[in-house]
Structure formats: structure tokens, C-alpha cells
Structure 1
Amino acid sequence: MWKYRRRAPMPDRPSPIPPNPPDYAFKEEIQKHFEAVAYSQQRWRRRNRYYYADIEALCRFLIPAHSRVLQIGSGNGDLLASLEPAVGLGVDFSPSMVTLAREQHPELQFLCQDAEQLDLEGQTFDYILLVGVLGHLADIQSVLEGLRPCCHRRTRVVAVFHNYLWEPLLRLGERLGERMPQPAQNWLSDTDVRNLFAITGYTVVKQGRRMLLPRRVPLVADWLNRYAARLPLIEHLCLTQYLVARPDFGPQPAALPTCSVIVPARNEAGNIRAAVERLPALGSHTELLFVEGNSQDDTWQVIGEVAREYGERLDIRVFKQKGKGKGDAVRLAFEQAKGDILMILDADLTVPPEDLPKFYAVIASGRGEFINGSRLIYPRSREAMPWLNTLANKFFGVVFSFLLDQPLKDTLCGTKVLWREDYEKIAAGRAYFGDFDPFGDFDLLFGAAKLNLHIVEVPIRYQPRTYGQSNIAHFREGLVLLRMCLFASQRIKFN
């Protein structure tokens, strides 16, 4: 059985409010309120269990089990415990709430501190949770700034808050005795929250809305909340809003990361030599991995000749694919790659190898964590991309932007770049989506979205092939893409 790891307990700091600060009255009122409702809160949670169960489901989707999790405004600790953290620390400024949480969840750690005066002795966390707490903070900006010492480069801050359009209905629910009474609070739009993250040094990587009907009505509530609530326009009426943000730490350390370039090749004999000759040096070391996919021409022989010819100058490794499809080839090479950064370069060279430094610069600088190529920015010839292909690319770009809640223009571009440590997490969680992607692109995109990686796109000038023909069967593979969209809709958008 998994055992929680605990540090030596830190002393509580009830954080006495200094005399007469500008926010004194607001903060004192909030503190008194939660002291008063601490032992009745559980009754209200049972009364609205449908709503709280959805919040737990959302947080479990965003936060993998066995992570290091800090929750600000942890209340009775139920939400933190539901995440099964390896290290779980809850902070609340109500002594009664902290006492209750310690009694109910002794395997976790809870501290009584004011979030504006946080002192966690240098601990850092994988996830920081702000659920229902932004409305009760006297100085949100100070709290977000104070959380930065608790972040490392991979930390994600998850903020969950109510849609301000629901304020009249929620107030009515309090008067009717259907909702726990609330003190005066901040009502923030998603634009307000995004701005607060921006001015305190965070980048929002994901945003979403859910929950049209917060009380269980048999048949109706589940359908509305799973499907109707996720539709464009209607989603703006949802009760729950959430943002996932990453801290901005500026440039990466001075040591340049190494890079592995993966080239899946099937029937591409005429492009192999050019791929090697045109590949620029990337980072402190570049390795080139060819995966040959049972070609009908002499691709395998040409790869061997080029590897021997350039072997003293370049780090070239060669593999013969046993399975089928580009996705299988990419996974084989990624498992064998040794570089810090993994890149896919299609062997048809329609994405010029000379453009790879642009991808490298974005990911190595920390300006993105999953870099996707976009062929739809610059003009391209009909020979490079016929009008029907362009239409399909735009269609799937819109569909996947909707499904992943992240803007994507060209999901079908073969050039994708990510950190090897992130790929290992994607591979470890592949069972969530299944292993049926023959292309490899969407396996990576789905996994990156599930990990809340910062996905950005780099525009490239798409070139026509100079050798051979496309290996894509457009109609058949288009049907596969549609099937994958339907599957992803159930696993991500309508989960």
C-alpha cells in the first residue's frame, strides 16, 4: 500500500492581523465566518454532494495521484485527501478548520497560516490548489506572488472559482437554506483571474468551464453537465470556472540541453542523405535516430550507407521497425533516445530541417513545453498542400482546440518537440487514452494536454516533396482521425 511521506511538523502560525491594515475588516470578517461554520461545513457538503463530487473529479483529472500537492484554503481536508498525494499539505487560516482536518486526515499535514504571510520553509510542490479561495482573499496579488517560492519549473497552479454571473442565484440559494451562508467576497471573471496570474509571473496554459446544474436531477443533471455544459456559448453559463497556470522563471540554466531528432522513414530513399546533410547542430549534442518502416524501395540500404559515411562526424543510430505506422516508429525511437529534448522530423522534408533551431530555441528557453509545428501561417503551394488537405487540417485544428481547451491551428503537422521527461510521463499514462493512434501525433497531443503542458506553435514554411509520394491514405486515415476525436471527446472534453 502506498504510504504518505511526512516531514517533521512545522509550528502553526495563526498569523495575527497587524493593526489597522487597509484589508483588516474584510480579512477579519472572513476569518470569523469560517471559524463559525467549521463544524457545520460537513453538513452543507453532504447537502450539496453532487457539486462537491464534481469538483473532486475535476481536480483528480488535472492532478495525477502521488504528486506533491499544496492546497491553500484547505478547509476540512477532504478535497486534498481525495487526490491521494505523495506529500499533501493544507493551509488554512481558521484554527478550527485546521483542527478538524487533522482529526479527519491524520496522514496529511495541515498548517494554520495566513496565505498572505506564507512560510513553508522552502518546500516546493508539483501542484498548488486554489479551490473556492480566490473570492475570500483580501489581497490575491500578494498571495500569488507569495506562492512563487513554493514552485519549481514544472509546478502547476490550479485555480477553481465561481462564474460571477451566478452571484444572484447563489445568494438566493443561501436565503432558501440550500447553500452554506457566505460572507462578502470577491467576484472575479476569468479575465480578472488571467490578469492576476499575468501580473504575478504566471502563464495560463489551460482554461475551462463546467457544471450547468449543481444539484442532482435524475437523468437531466448528468446529461446537461457532461454534454451541454461543454458546448460553445453555453459553456459561458457554467457555474464552475478553472485555470491552470505555470510559473515563469525566465531562461533555462546556461548548460545547453542535448537533443534527439527522430526521423521515421518509409519509402524515402531519395530524402535520407539530404536529411543528414541539412540537419543543423542542436544544443550541446545532437543525435539522429532513423526508424525504417519496411519500405518497398531501398530506404534501409541508403540509411545504412549514410550512417557509415557520416558516422564519425554525427551521432547516427538506426532501427528497423517491427510494427506498423508512424506512431509505432516514433514510440520505438523515443524509447531509445538519449537526448533531453525529443524532436520529430518527417523524412519527406516538407518541414525543412533548417527550421528545427526555431523549435529548439522556444523549448530550451522555457517559452513553451510542447512545441507543435504550424504549416498554416505562411503561404504554401497547392503542390505542397492541396486545398482538400488544407481544409482537413483547418477542420481538425478547430476540433482539437475545442477538445483540448487549448488553441491549436495545425494538429496534423508531423514536427513536434517535447522534453524527454515529459514524454516518459505521457508514455506512463498512455492507458488512459489507449494505444490506437497510428500517427503518433495525437498520442502526444492528448498526453500533453492531460499533463497541462504549455503547448505553443512554431510557424514553418511548408515545402513540396522532392522525392517519392505521400504514404497517407487520406480517406481511410481521415476516418481514423474522426474516431480519435470521438474517443478524445469522451476522455477529455466530456469526461
Structure 2
Amino acid sequence: MDYKKHFDWVAEHDDGPRSKQRGFHAQVLGKLRHHIQPGARVLEWGCGRGDLLKGLQPARGLGVDLSPRMVQQAQVRNAGDGVEFREGDIATDTIDEKFDAIILDFLSGYLSDVQQSLEKLHASCHPRTRIYLTSLNHLWKPLFAVAQPLGLVLKQPPSNWLSSNDLINLLELSGFEVVKSGTEQLFPFQVPLLSGLLNRFVGRLPVFREMGASLFIVARPVARPVIESEISCSVVLPARNESGHIKDALDRIPVLGQKTELIIVEGNSTDDTWAVIEREVAAYQGPLEVSYMKQPGKGKWDAVFAGFAVARGDVLVIQDGDLTAPPEDLPKFYAAIASGRAEFANGSRLVYPMESEAMKLLNFCGNKFFALALSFVVDRPIKDSLCGTKMLLRSDYKRLLKRIEAFGEFDPYGDFNLIFGSALLDLAIRDVPVRYKDRAYGDTNISRFSGAALLLRMTWFGLRKLRFHK
């Protein structure tokens, strides 16, 4: 099939069908805008007239299309303000320039060798590049056959109707890992109220989420991150009323990577935690580079935020001051991040058996519930949303802060901030099991019932902002 000739013809004859598809394409743009923030570097293969690329407001946008006439029209309509268009064939050409996002919008159906085309994308990827691939859901094939005589779509050439599993398999064969997949556009038309109800709510519920008109897949290159600072990892230890755990923390936290710094953030304790920190740090002669500070405000997230703000390591990790999630497990988190197997390592206390007093039955049930709820909110499997141990790159943390800035101060604990932000960045989230231990000193700093009410409010907040986003 001569696709260049076909799409040159489409460029001259699809004004009518395209106008009828305005709502469909607006929905695709809205979905991608949720994932790709303005100011990103974006490459789109099969860009057509460039409306989608321009609508994403990239700082650097490159649109490539096989059809000379499509490229000519794109240059007239959408070139400028950092957006460029050129002719090219994804099957034979490579772009030796790095982009934050690469889009293949309904392109895979026209590729004679999908795997070969996907493999060429690596030349344009850095370790945090995300691939956004859309395609038509084969469940809708009969409806497209009806749409052609009605003038809703032009007559289509022979093409691939690949299933979601086909595309995931081809991405993995090509050296990419799928971060998330599903369908969108249960109702691919713009009708006030009805479109929002069906696409935002009904279409994201179980069963219905597999029935949308469009397949939507997010993938990433499997690559090791660059860890090159003198200090490889910064461990932030929030410590409120934890005087009995400070010496153990200094003795037990291991060196991660080339060099590790420990930042103890004292949280307005009512016991002698601050005095113990001063005494034990002065006496410490171990391999960690240790500093300490008082947190400026209240709550665990305030302490973590203060510690991360002064951290110098390429990798950041939270180690709760009660040490119930053992510091000896931290090398597993570091290995997951440093290898590239995870981009956000989330501790899970709910895999291995735990000590008898480590978690009361009511807390256990609550943790199970919120893990299931968060999994639904972020559309990823989360085994334990409230384990204190969490690790990510400092560069990802900085991007995460910008991504959740619009949320305001909704989470005093920080767990939801980090999980929601990682999901919005399309990071590869991995649960790392820990063996949960009894608390050796003091009492928990969280009230069960008031804490549960706050977590419910934060879960509802996440449903509105992530799962049922516009």
C-alpha cells in the first residue's frame, strides 16, 4: 500500500469528515494534555496537519509525517513558537534528538513493521521519555464500517487492527516497558454533560474501561538513570518523639551507592529527641555524612519537604524514625532505582508476615482498604499506600513538586503527594516488600480515626483529580 499517496489524497479531501470528528480529536488532545505538561519537548510521528502537537504547547515540538501535503499544511497552520514540521518515515528514519514525550497517535495501524518502527524511537529517548500510543479498539471495527458511508470517516486503506495485548507485546519486544494501558472515549463525541458523564466517569469504571473507542498506552524505555553526584543517596529521617531510636538509626542505616548522607529532621517533639540527636550525632564516627535540623512547620510531609530541600544526593529516600520498616531493607530500594527497574520505589508492609504488635487489626484492614482505593485512583497496583519508606530520584522529585503544585497542601503525611505525583509523571511505580517490625520505643504519632477521615478526604481528592479528571 502506498500510504504516502493515500495521505496526500486525504490532505485534500477530509475537510468534511474532519469537521465531524472535531469532538473526537478534542478528547484525544485533552487526554494527552493530562499527561504532557506545557513546555515539554515533544516529538510526534504521523503528525498530520500538526493540530495535536501545537495544542500541547511544547517548548520544542517536532512533527514528522510521511505525506508531503500534510507537512505543507502543518507548516502553514501550526509552525512557529518552537514547533517544526518535516517529512519523514518512521520505518526508515531516526531522529537523533532527545524528547520528553513521543506520540504515535493512531499511527500503528499503518506501519508495515511495527516492531522495527518502535525500535527506532530509542534514538529520541532519554531515561525519562514517555511513549504515548493511541490506536483504534478492534471492538469498534463494525461501527467504523458503518461510519464510512455516513461520511463520518474517509474510506480506509488496509491497516493493522492490533489489540492492546498485541501493542504491549510489540513495545516490550522493542525494548520498552508499558507503564499503563486501557481504553478511552467510551462516547467519542462532544455533547454537553453526556460526554463528560460517559467518558470521565462511566468509561473509567471496571468493564466499561475496556470498551472505549481508543486504545491508550503509556510506555518507557528500560534504561539506567545517571547517578553521578559525590553523594549518591540522601536519607531523610523524620523524628518526632523518637529519642529511643536515634542511635539505632545511626548504627543501622547502610551506605547506599558511593556515599550516603543522613538528614535527621526533628519534628517539635515533646520528649528529649532534639537533645538526643545533638548528643548522638556528635559522638557518631560511622560512614554516613550526618546533619540534622528542626522542621519549620508541622506534619510528616513538612519534615520530608524540609529534608529533601537541602538533600544533595541523586537519590532521595524517606526512612521513618520509628524504624518499624527496617533500614536494612534500603539496599533493595536503591537497587530498584539505580537499575532502572523502578522509578518510584514504594515500600509495602503487607507482603511478608509482620511481628505481632507491628500493626493492629483495625490498622491492617484500613491499610488494605486504602491500598485498594489508591490502586483505583492512580490506575496502578499499589500494595501498601501508607508505608513510610519511599525512594525516587531527586530530579523526579523536583518534577513531581511542579506537577502537584496546583493541588495545594492537601496531604500532611506526604504519601499521597508522592504517589499521586509519580502517577501523574507516568513513573514506573514498584512495590518493594519490607518486613514490618514492632515499635521498640514510644507510640505512633498518627490518630487512627481522625487519620482515617483525613485519608478518605484525600482519596476523594485523588478520584477527582486523577481517576475522573477532565
| Shared fold per TM-score greater than 0.5 | yes
Question: Map of 1:173-188 to 2, 5 A cutoff?
Answer: 173-188=147-162
Partner of 1:81: 54
| Alignment check: 8 A CA contact 2:347 2:388 kept | yes
| Alignment check: 8 A CA contact 1:370 1:417 kept | yes
Partner of 1:271: 245
Q: Does residue 100 in structure 1 map to residue 87 in structure 2?
A: no
Which residue, out of 120, 124, 130, partners 1:150? 124
Which residue, out of 266, 273, 278, partners 1:304? 278
Partner of 2:32: 59
Partner of 1:349: 323
Distance change in 2, residues 1:57/1:493 (3 Å): same
How many Å separate the matches in 2 of 1:374 and 1:404? 17
Q: Does residue 447 in structure 1 map to residue 438 in structure 2?
A: no
Deviation for aligned residue 1:32: 2.5
Deviation for aligned residue 1:178: 2.0
| Alignment check: 8 A CA contact 2:79 2:85 kept | no
| Alignment check: 8 A CA contact 2:177 2:222 kept | yes
How many Å separate the matches in 2 of 1:249 and 1:222? 37
How many Å separate the matches in 2 of 1:54 and 1:456? 30
User: What is the identity, as a one-letter code, of the residue corresponding to 2:343?
Assistant: E
Partner of 1:471: 445
| Alignment check: 8 A CA contact 1:256 1:283 kept | no
Q: Does residue 225 in structure 1 map to residue 161 in structure 2?
A: no
Deviation for aligned residue 1:255: 8.4
Partner of 2:90: 115
Q: Does residue 31 in structure 1 map to residue 4 in structure 2?
A: yes
User: What is the identity, as a one-letter code, of the residue corresponding to 2:46?
Assistant: G
Q: Does residue 68 in structure 1 map to residue 49 in structure 2?
A: no
User: What is the identity, as a one-letter code, of the residue corresponding to 1:46?
Assistant: S
Deviation for aligned residue 1:269: 0.7
Deviation for aligned residue 1:377: 0.9
User: What is the identity, as a one-letter code, of the residue corresponding to 2:262?
Assistant: L
Deviation for aligned residue 1:57: 0.7
Which residue, out of 457, 468, 471, partners 2:431? 457
Partner of 1:90: 63
Structure 1: stretches of 5+ with no match in the other structure: 1-25
How many Å separate the matches in 2 of 1:326 and 1:196? 43
Partner of 1:18: none
Deviation for aligned residue 1:183: 1.8
Question: Map of 1:476-491 to 2, 5 A cutoff?
Answer: 476-491=450-465
Distance change in 2, residues 1:189/1:156 (3 Å): same
Partner of 1:21: none
Partner of 1:432: 406
Distance change in 2, residues 1:248/1:257 (3 Å): farther
Q: How many residues align?
A: 467
How many Å separate the matches in 2 of 1:364 and 1:271? 28
TM-score by length of structure 1 reads 0.91
Partner of 1:237: 211
| Alignment check: 8 A CA contact 1:209 1:239 kept | yes
SS at match of 2:148: helix
Deviation for aligned residue 1:252: 5.7
Distance change in 2, residues 1:366/1:236 (3 Å): same
Deviations 1:7-65 (A, max 9, x none): xxxxxxxxxxxxxxxxxxx3x1x332211110333443321221111100111111121
How many Å separate the matches in 2 of 1:251 and 1:60? 26
| Alignment check: 8 A CA contact 2:227 2:314 kept | no
User: What is the identity, as a one-letter code, of the residue corresponding to 2:260?
Assistant: T
Question: Which range moved further: 194-203 or 175-184?
Answer: 175-184
TM-score by length of structure 2 reads 0.96
How many Å separate the matches in 2 of 1:255 and 1:156? 25
Distance change in 2, residues 1:250/1:281 (3 Å): closer
SS at match of 1:294: coil
Deviation for aligned residue 1:460: 0.9
How many Å separate the matches in 2 of 1:259 and 1:159? 34
Deviation for aligned residue 1:66: 1.2
Deviation for aligned residue 1:256: 8.3
| Alignment check: 8 A CA contact 1:264 1:329 kept | yes
Partner of 1:9: none
SS at match of 2:91: helix
Structure 2: stretches of 5+ with no match in the other structure: none
Which residue, out of 162, 166, 169, partners 1:192? 166
| Alignment check: 8 A CA contact 2:255 2:288 kept | no
Percent identity at matched positions?
46
How many Å separate the matches in 2 of 1:138 and 1:461? 50
User: What is the identity, as a one-letter code, of the residue corresponding to 2:460?
Assistant: L
Q: Does residue 421 in structure 1 map to residue 421 in structure 2?
A: no
User: What is the identity, as a one-letter code, of the residue corresponding to 1:71?
Assistant: E
Partner of 1:259: 233
User: What is the identity, as a one-letter code, of the residue corresponding to 1:89?
Assistant: L
How many Å separate the matches in 2 of 1:326 and 1:346? 9
Question: Which range moved further: 258-267 or 169-178?
Answer: 169-178
Partner of 1:366: 340
Distance change in 2, residues 1:280/1:218 (3 Å): closer
Deviation for aligned residue 1:232: 0.7
How many Å separate the matches in 2 of 1:147 and 1:205? 17
How many Å separate the matches in 2 of 1:257 and 1:88? 35
Deviation for aligned residue 1:106: 2.2
SS at match of 1:281: coil
Deviation for aligned residue 1:467: 0.6
| Alignment check: 8 A CA contact 2:403 2:424 kept | no
Partner of 1:248: 222
Which residue, out of 168, 172, 176, partners 2:146? 172
User: What is the identity, as a one-letter code, of the residue corresponding to 1:427?
Assistant: L
| Alignment check: 8 A CA contact 1:291 1:319 kept | yes
| Alignment check: 8 A CA contact 2:109 2:161 kept | yes
| Alignment check: 8 A CA contact 1:433 1:488 kept | no
SS at match of 1:39: helix
Q: Does residue 281 in structure 1 map to residue 284 in structure 2?
A: no
SS at match of 2:5: helix
How many Å separate the matches in 1 of 2:351 and 2:277? 33
